[in-house]
Structure 1
Amino acid sequence: MPRERYTVISADCHAGADLLDYRPYLETKYHDDFDAWAATYVNPYEDLLADTADRNWNSERRLAELEADGIVAEVVFPNTIPPFFPSASLMAPAPSQQEYEQRWAGLRAHNRWLADFCAQAPGRRAGVAQILLNDPAEAVREIRRTKEAGLTGGILLPGAPPGSGVPELYSQTYDPLWAACEELDVPVNHHGGSASPPLGDEPAARAVFMVETTWFSHRALWHLIFGGAFRRHPGLKLVLTEQGSGWIPGVVEMLDYYHGRLVAATARATTAESRFGAGLAASMGASPGEVWRDNCFVGASFMRPHEVPMRDRIGLDKIMWGSDYPHDEGTAPYTREALRIAYAGVEPEEVAAMTGGNAARVYGFDLAALDRIAAEIGPTVEEIAEPLKEVPAGATSPAFAPGGSVRVW
């Protein structure tokens, strides 16, 4: 039977509790510290102070808005501030042992809250657990606990930018994490914006951040590849989310080039370059291209029109679309229009894979169950096939930005 509607799973959404609502999820011994911290905390994010902030934690509102947008399920990354953190928790080594312990307690509280939040919409939310990298053994314990608690979105790999104080991601220090994720079939997610070093407050800082942030996020790919994580743990899954997708073919080709060049150099011991490749082939195993094929996926979020023609080079089975709800740069409430601007003219089975099928496979959604919901609220194949002629007046997402012919590296 021909497909009539798409089952859309957003592989990039965000949620979190309202600040004081984290308290019941903290261990009791941290309650006094939390009360003191919360009494003086000033939230730095305008969207978390706005009237629409409850989209992060209001389950009924969230389901209604996602369904109105044609989305049946979501992968849920963090958004609000967990206890004891100064701001977002994507990369936050603590300056003292006490603060480190408090921040771990805060992340555990978020993960407990998230498990309850996901349980309010069974089978429709894959929550992504948060960890810190400072103590791999502690991280492994939290990975096991959150998997047992029902979080199916995997873990959020914190950034490890230069100067962070934690080992680089290629370090074998993290092998216990990769082993646990492989054993439990837990995807390792690395989200855009999570690995940039502090840039200060100069006027140019924001512009420099925009230029560099995706590159710093991409680093996780070559760190894990050249570090041999996938050789030692061939079942490991890495998902790179909200970092674009058009850069992937060129970067994988570049990594293959350096891999081949360095491995070949080891056979010519008299060359200066041979020392750079010493032990590389044995330590990393397969080539970067093979690792991408076998182990990696991209949470492409809202693919731009110039990226879609590269889908075969990226890997049609690798691409997962996301709306970035509830962020201002997300596609809501114009997701149907965003899908049209990207996928009009693409074969329906390919659209179905990128907008839902791949995410169902990676994150373990029951696609048959979601198909039944999509039969009522999903965008129609006919609708998405119609090219978008006019951008909605209220659209704020970069999915609608002009200049789509520019290739982003």
Structure 2
Amino acid sequence: MSDRYTVISADCHAGADLLDYKPYVERRHHEAFDAWAATYVNPYADLLADTADKNWNSERRLAELEDDGIVAEVVFPNTIPPFFPSASLMAPAPTAEEFEQRWAGLRAHNRWLADFCAAAPGRRAGVFQILLNDVDEAVKEIRWAADAGLRGGLLLPGTPPGSGLPELYASTYDPIWAVCAELDVPVNHHAGSASPPLGDEPAARAVFMVETTWFSHRALWHLIFGGAFRRHPDLKLVLTEQGSGWIPGVLDMLDYYHGRLVAAATKASTAESKFGAGLAAAMGKGPSEVWRDNCFVGASFMRPHEVPLRDRIGLDKIMWGSDYPHDEGTHPYSREGLRIAYAGLPREEIAAMVGGNAARVYGFDLAYLDGIAAKVGPTVEEIAEPLGTPPADATSPVFARGGSVRVW
């Protein structure tokens, strides 16, 4: 047994430099791409800084991740896809032409990502993008992505209030769940894509921070109550960068409502009976059983107060992530982030949460990665040592005062 951990970050981000998307855009859209690129104003400071190339500089990423003890990564999008006015996939597309261009932009990103992952064989699982407005096109793109080797799976957009899209529990999306189950494509729902617009009032950003994870959690109960897992028992759902401490309580709540509504449906004279009508047959298993069999959590920079809940969450469900290259991520202090969360835990449990589970969900070759980790991975002895004072310049919430208090 190696004296080092094989660390796979289940939450990293990447994307092409804006103009580098052009070769991946269909030629018929090149003129429109030039016009879009000439007027696009990037709203994100980190994508304008000198360090922005962390998103697309393959050699730099490999070096910085290895320095941080990480040997492989699940790669979510980060830069703006062509033809979008903002990062949101829910941005309105008022005309059919604009909608067609948005699809062309997402396909360009996906094809760039396939090449980016191929530049580091076995070390990147790319997460590809779709739109939900056209299910047939989405299914085609899922099949293309699976053939192209994008093992990170599908990034599921949210359906926030006001989007005009059917809710995620709608049968409209069943072809998407079917093809993902057929091809063993994980369905990832990342925080940030499901929140409605909140306007420009001073409180808006704070309210967004408070609510964004809740809006992202909605995908869990939508798919459970919608019966997606009954119809497609091999479907895998991964909830990423939404924390993990909420899961036991939410599962208790969902189990409560499930049991209450199913029971009420047998009592035709009650006011609640209509709410549970047909629910048992449509859902199949209860919420906790669905979680046990089908769901996982990308527990980005897992906080110490979440760790004591690991058995209730499921040790085989938790996948640690560094959130590289975001400044709320743990780079360049991922070893310290692991220590502050996991010091004192059994070695086998740490190995599962920092790499083994992600290898299983996303299809990484763990034996291959073990060879790399034997040179760059954090040592078992190192992670076993509790962290005293966090690095003074660390920016990750895992080191935040109050967020790093372990409750046993």
TM-score range, shorter chain: over 0.9
Cα contact 2:12–2:323 (8 A) shared by 1: yes
After TM superposition, give the deviation of residue 207 of structure 1 in Å: 1.1
Paired with 2:50 and 2:392, the residues of 1 have a C-alpha distance of: 21
2:211 matched residue in structure 1 = 212
Spell out the pairing of 1:211-230 with structure 2 (5 A cutoff): 211-230=210-229
Residues 256-275 of structure 1: per-residue CA shift (max 9 Å, x gap): 00000000001111000001
Cα contact 2:139–2:179 (8 A) shared by 1: yes
- TM-score of the superposition, structure 1-length normalised? 0.98
1:247 aligns with 2:228: no
Paired with 1:211 and 1:327, the residues of 2 have a C-alpha distance of: 19
1:42 matched residue in structure 2 = 41
Paired with 1:112 and 1:130, the residues of 2 have a C-alpha distance of: 10
1:73 matched residue in structure 2 = 72
Change (3 A) 1:392 1:384: same
1:177 aligns with 2:176: yes
Cα contact 1:11–1:299 (8 A) shared by 2: yes
SS at 1:306 equivalent: helix
Change (3 A) 1:124 1:253: same
Residues 324-358 of structure 1: per-residue CA shift (max 9 Å, x gap): 00001000000000000000000011000000000
1:142 matched residue in structure 2 = 141
Paired with 1:89 and 1:138, the residues of 2 have a C-alpha distance of: 19
Amino acid at match of 2:198: L
1:63 matched residue in structure 2 = 62
Amino acid at match of 2:393: G
2:387 matched residue in structure 1 = 388
Change (3 A) 1:333 1:45: same
Residues 357-384 of structure 1: per-residue CA shift (max 9 Å, x gap): 0000000000000000000000000000
Deviating 4+ runs (over 6 angstroms) = none
Paired with 1:126 and 1:404, the residues of 2 have a C-alpha distance of: 29
Residues 141-169 of structure 1: per-residue CA shift (max 9 Å, x gap): 00000111111000000010011011000
Paired with 1:93 and 1:354, the residues of 2 have a C-alpha distance of: 39
Cα contact 1:93–1:165 (8 A) shared by 2: no
Residues 33-64 of structure 1: per-residue CA shift (max 9 Å, x gap): 00011011111100000000000000000100
Amino acid at match of 1:71: I
Amino acid at match of 2:211: E
Aligned residues with identical type, % of pairs: 84
Amino acid at match of 1:313: R
After TM superposition, give the deviation of residue 93 of structure 1 in Å: 4.7
After TM superposition, give the deviation of residue 301 of structure 1 in Å: 0.6
Cα contact 2:21–2:108 (8 A) shared by 1: yes
SS at 2:268 equivalent: coil
1:108 matched residue in structure 2 = 107
Cα contact 1:343–1:384 (8 A) shared by 2: yes
After TM superposition, give the deviation of residue 86 of structure 1 in Å: 1.1
Amino acid at match of 1:358: N
Change (3 A) 1:242 1:278: same
Residues 16-38 of structure 1: per-residue CA shift (max 9 Å, x gap): 00000000000000000000110
After TM superposition, give the deviation of residue 406 of structure 1 in Å: 7.8
Paired with 2:232 and 2:176, the residues of 1 have a C-alpha distance of: 10
After TM superposition, give the deviation of residue 95 of structure 1 in Å: 2.3
Paired with 2:141 and 2:92, the residues of 1 have a C-alpha distance of: 17
Residues 60-80 of structure 1: per-residue CA shift (max 9 Å, x gap): 001000000000000000000
- TM-score of the superposition, structure 2-length normalised? 0.98
Unaligned segments of structure 2, at least 5 residues: none
Cα contact 1:26–1:105 (8 A) shared by 2: yes
Paired with 1:78 and 1:16, the residues of 2 have a C-alpha distance of: 6
Moved more, 64-73 or 94-103: 94-103
Paired with 1:301 and 1:93, the residues of 2 have a C-alpha distance of: 30
1:19 matched residue in structure 2 = 18
Cα contact 1:93–1:134 (8 A) shared by 2: no
Paired positions, count: 407
1:318 aligns with 2:314: no
Paired with 2:13 and 2:94, the residues of 1 have a C-alpha distance of: 27
1:153 matched residue in structure 2 = 152
Spell out the pairing of 1:248-263 with structure 2 (5 A cutoff): 248-263=247-262
After TM superposition, give the deviation of residue 405 of structure 1 in Å: 6.7
After TM superposition, give the deviation of residue 94 of structure 1 in Å: 2.0
2:186 matched residue in structure 1 = 187
Give the RMSD, CA atoms, in angstroms: 1.2
Spell out the pairing of 1:305-384 with structure 2 (5 A cutoff): 305-384=304-383
Amino acid at match of 1:51: D
After TM superposition, give the deviation of residue 97 of structure 1 in Å: 1.2
Paired with 1:66 and 1:231, the residues of 2 have a C-alpha distance of: 39
Spell out the pairing of 1:217-296 with structure 2 (5 A cutoff): 217-296=216-295
1:196 matched residue in structure 2 = 195
Paired with 1:295 and 1:279, the residues of 2 have a C-alpha distance of: 22
After TM superposition, give the deviation of residue 286 of structure 1 in Å: 0.4
Moved more, 216-225 or 395-404: 395-404
Paired with 2:315 and 2:167, the residues of 1 have a C-alpha distance of: 30
Cα contact 1:265–1:273 (8 A) shared by 2: yes
After TM superposition, give the deviation of residue 89 of structure 1 in Å: 3.9
Cα contact 2:398–2:404 (8 A) shared by 1: no
